[in-house]
Amino acid sequence: MRTLDWDRARAVLLATGVGLIALIALTAFIRDVDRVEIVATLMYAPILAGLLSFGLTGGLALGLAAAGVYIGLRLPAIDLVGITPLAGTIMSRVLGFVAFGALGGWAADQLRTALDRYELIDEVDEDSGLGNARAIVNSIAREASRAKRYATPFSVVTTTFDDIGTDRRSRARLRELGAKIAASIRASDQAAHIRSDGTHQIVLVLPETAADGAETVAANLGLLVGGVMSRDVVTETITDAGDDTDPLAALRSRLIDLP
């Protein structure tokens, strides 16, 4: 499942909202409702677009604009029968436009903030279900700190293979690979998938694992990745004994596409 960012959320909400508004207007047209009320229903669509694009400010401004347009459309009827018979209808429409724009804009701002915050802390790779670059950097940082404090080793294993494309079948193979890797590693290990410039890389962080153990993991990982992806793979092990002055920098410099 792909992470839902604000742009995709906005597109979904706009398409759904406009479709619903159009359906309500069509139903009103079929039932021979007053044409002014049909137009008033359709005016919720630009308010929705405004609040999704500009939040509270845009929603409120367009809500007030729609209220003004609606009052203008009702002026002939007001001249004909007076304001009293139409006061309730006009007031409800005006309040509806303003409330929809203001409350909808506020809600859109909150949703955008929440999605942006989630994107900042998201550590899941959308293609494989493993960790992403941020996750692996954080994991290396944690293990580097532990290794330096307790003088225990940890290792990083990387397996690189050529890009396989982005079609449905390729995504399914990446998802299968991610599931198999997740099932084959220890609970304390961290696995990530990184795509960069036509290259894929699987990265494993192995706490308290020395060079000999990392070599075994690397051999098994190479066989697993090569078998699932049907690609030649290049596997490398990086072992740190906890005595580097800056092991994180040394490790990160040998990994691709890490921030």
Q: Which residues are CB-neighbours of 27 under 8 A, at least 6 positions away? A: none
Nearest to 136 by CA among 174, 217, 192: 192
| pLDDT at 259 (0 to 100) | 46
The structure's pTM equals 0.54
| pLDDT at 63 (0 to 100) | 95
| Domain 133-252 in CATH 3.90.1300.10 | no
Nearest to 143 by CA among 259, 239, 254, 257: 239
- Report domain extents, the chain: 6-121, 133-252
- Taking each helix axis from N to C end, the angle separating 87-121 and 44-81, rounded to the nearest 10 degrees, works out to 170
Q: Are 127 and 175 in contact (CB under 8 A)?
A: yes
Residue pLDDT tens, the chain, 259 long: 344 577 888 899 999 999 999 999 999 999 999 999 999 999 999 999 999 999 999 999 999 999 999 999 999 999 888 888 889 999 999 999 999 999 999 999 998 887 776 655 567 888 888 988 888 888 888 888 888 888 888 888 889 898 887 788 888 989 999 999 999 999 999 999 988 777 898 999 999 888 889 899 999 999 999 889 888 888 888 776 555 555 556 555 555 444 4
